[in-house]
Structure 1
Amino acid sequence: MTPRTAGLLLLLATTVNWGSTWPLLKFIMTGLPPLTLRAWGASAAALLLIALALAFRVPLGVPRGQRGRLVLFALLNVSAWMALTTVALRWLSASEGAILAYTFPIWATIFAWPLLGERPGLARWAGLAIGFGSMVFLFAGQGAEVSADKWPGVAAVLTAAVLFALGTVLSKRRPLTLPPFASLTWQMALGAIPMLILAPFLERPDVAAVTLPVWIAFAWMVVFTMGLSYFTWFAALRRLPASTATLGSLLAPVLGVIGASLSLGEPIGLRQVTALGGVLLAVVLAIGQKERRPREP
């Protein structure tokens, strides 16, 4: 299996996993406030990863020259993304949050041009337009509406999208040489720290009132959405151009809506099929574009 094929399979695994994120977060927020659930979730994921690293004797040492870079990537890829997208759901529906969060392929394509030398051709720009347009078409049918009273949520989730895109591109420009598992473990642990510090000042969770289904959903989020999906995302990013990987991630919210429809027993209509077809076409356009070697840092 070539690295490119492996990267595409890892990206597919990531998007399927991420597709469940938005409705899952809204459900967990019925029992836990947003920043608290992300802070606790990232901390639990980090502890699980550390336990696995110790059990399987994965080295966790970080060379001195990479420590600053590791902290920066943790803040951009974990802290900013998790905290801001989740807090935004105070004002936005899951559909609205997904539309805005998944503008990050646009920002990543823009950043990748000057920082990586990945100059997007007509196919990739067309893919962005078709993919994002298909997603908006889909979510417009889910009752998404960004009105004036939702601007705090809009600002939070767009900031998260820009910062995550920047973290994605920077991690391609100056990649860490740590083992992938060690890189994920440290980013999750370091990324949890700012959220753990801020959460007690902003929120007061009523732990006793949290129901068992919410705790089960929380555990699922820790293991799969936070742990496994970040691992497959970083692994895919090592093997694919940044703009291709991020454009492929547009499949996540579309698959999420279709999965939610199936789980609720609702038929998948023309809108869902059209949106999925549009995003698939966008991904094919991005993958089919001739790749240029990234500029050496």
Structure 2
Amino acid sequence: MANGKVSDAMAVDAEPTTQRGASRARLAGFACAALTVMIFSGWFVVTRFGVTRELRIWDIAALRFGIGAMLLAPAVVRRGSRLPIAAWGEGLLFAVLWGVPFVLLVALGLKLTSAAEAASVAPTLMPVFAGVFAWCFLRERQGSLRWLGYAAIVTGLVCLVSAGAAARGAPDLWGIAALAAAAVMWAIYTLLFRRSGLTPVQSAALICVWSAALYLPAYLLLGLSRFSLASQGEIALQVCYQGVLMSGVALITYNRAVSLLGSSAATAVIALLPAVASILAIPVLGEIPSLAEGMSIAVIVLGVLLASRPAAAGRASTRPSSTRPQA
């Protein structure tokens, strides 16, 4: 009897500790997601600034993954942290989804549209595709609020494109298509990473290492560089943002947010991207959204917030326990 009472008392004492630990983890997840939003928002503006001047899409990708690989390679190749072959294969898939192809598609979309449109299309279509894919292939129930949110996102995007057409002429359909394709790749990556055994640092490192290994040789052999035409200030800006902040910090913080919060809650914070990027684009690029565009962005944000609410009860957890070495 005494032992039973002691065990019950210990269980009661442990419960608040577990709750505090979960709260701290959730708070850390939201902090990582918020930092990701700030970096991603600036990335749309900085990338458009680069591709509309001397540098080209190819230079942006070279800086992002070349520098990222140098910074993060020790996480997967140093003694004691080497990954099995299967992990490298998984990293190659992640590099295809969120590496050079993703960056080239977004950069093309930015060149053909605007920072505000790009920041609204790619990040906000991502949870739509992620939800649809999870429902179709993983049998995850979405619930009425999520479907309502997805409908609001699509409606807001249609209104945004229509408002931009009224103010600046018909949108470039190739630019919109490139951004939508990037959103599909981002969604698939988010779902796969959540179910992988890789840590946030390992995933970020593998994306950069594989991207650099596959892309940089072709970039150099084909003579695609335009660094000689750009100013030192422009190059320094892109080096810091593309190589350090995006490939180093943002990749890790986004992965960490997905690990701590789950893909749904992490994408809820990403909903702030259109608003933040639109605000940044005003002083940097002189791109002032019209009233209709601003209202469309607000509808998109509302839709993503609805779509990112917890799914209906009874959904089975699909994330396996991690068995791979930690970074």
TM-score with structure 2 length normalisation? Answer: 0.74
Q: Is the 8 A contact 1:99 1:139 kept in 2?
A: no
Q: Is the 8 A contact 1:116 1:294 kept in 2?
A: no
Whether 2:56 is the aligned partner of 1:33: answer yes
Structure 1 equivalent of residue 28 of structure 2: 6
Structure 1 equivalent of residue 116 of structure 2: 95
Aligned-partner Cα distance in 2 for 1:87–1:128: 25
Looking at CA atoms only, which structure, 1 or 2, has the larger radius of gyration? 2
Query: Shift of residue 227 of structure 1?
Result: 1.8
Q: Which amino acid aligns with 1:217?
A: L
RMSD (Å), alpha carbons: 3.3
Structure 2 equivalent of residue 112 of structure 1: 134
Q: Which amino acid aligns with 1:34?
A: I
Aligned-partner Cα distance in 1 for 2:297–2:141: 26
Matching residue within 84, 92, 105 for 1:63: 84
Q: Tell me, what secondary structure is at the counterpart of 1:20?
A: helix
Whether 2:185 is the aligned partner of 1:168: answer no
- Which consecutive unaligned segments of at least 5 residues does structure 1 have? none
1:101-159 deviations in Å (ceiling 9; x for gaps): 23222111111224444321111122233345446656765656554xx3433333322
Q: Tell me, what secondary structure is at the counterpart of 2:83?
A: coil
Q: Is the 8 A contact 2:271 2:305 kept in 1?
A: no
Report the count of equivalent residues.
290
Q: 1:267 to 1:90 in 2, by over 3 A?
A: closer
Aligned-partner Cα distance in 2 for 1:106–1:249: 13
Aligned-partner Cα distance in 2 for 1:67–1:277: 40
Q: Is the 8 A contact 1:74 1:191 kept in 2?
A: yes
Q: Is the 8 A contact 2:191 2:263 kept in 1?
A: yes
Whether 2:109 is the aligned partner of 1:81: answer no
Query: Shift of residue 198 of structure 1?
Result: 4.2
Q: Which amino acid aligns with 1:225?
A: M
1:216-266 deviations in Å (ceiling 9; x for gaps): 320223211232111111111112332443354232122111233366899
Whether 2:132 is the aligned partner of 1:122: answer no
Aligned-partner Cα distance in 2 for 1:40–1:62: 25
Structure 2 equivalent of residue 213 of structure 1: 233
Query: Shift of residue 91 of structure 1?
Result: 3.0
Q: Is the 8 A contact 2:33 2:253 kept in 1?
A: yes
Query: Shift of residue 40 of structure 1?
Result: 2.6
Matching residue within 237, 252, 258 for 1:237: 258
Q: Which amino acid aligns with 1:195?
A: Y
- Which consecutive unaligned segments of at least 5 residues does structure 2 have? 1-22, 321-327
Whether 2:248 is the aligned partner of 1:227: answer yes
Query: Shift of residue 36 of structure 1?
Result: 2.5
Structure 2 equivalent of residue 181 of structure 1: 201
Q: Tell me, what secondary structure is at the counterpart of 1:119?
A: coil
Q: Is the 8 A contact 2:135 2:142 kept in 1?
A: yes
Sequence identity, in percent?
26
Q: 1:13 to 1:287 in 2, by over 3 A?
A: farther
Q: Is the 8 A contact 1:35 1:86 kept in 2?
A: no
Q: 1:192 to 1:109 in 2, by over 3 A?
A: farther
Q: 180-189 vs 285-294, which deviates more?
A: 285-294
Query: Shift of residue 48 of structure 1?
Result: 1.9
Query: Shift of residue 182 of structure 1?
Result: 2.7
Q: Is the 8 A contact 1:18 1:253 kept in 2?
A: no
Query: Shift of residue 194 of structure 1?
Result: 3.3
Q: Which amino acid aligns with 1:74?
A: A
Query: Shift of residue 58 of structure 1?
Result: 8.7
Aligned-partner Cα distance in 2 for 1:242–1:45: 24
Q: 136-145 vs 240-249, which deviates more?
A: 136-145
Aligned-partner Cα distance in 1 for 2:109–2:269: 23
Whether 2:215 is the aligned partner of 1:195: answer yes
Q: 275-284 vs 160-169, which deviates more?
A: 275-284
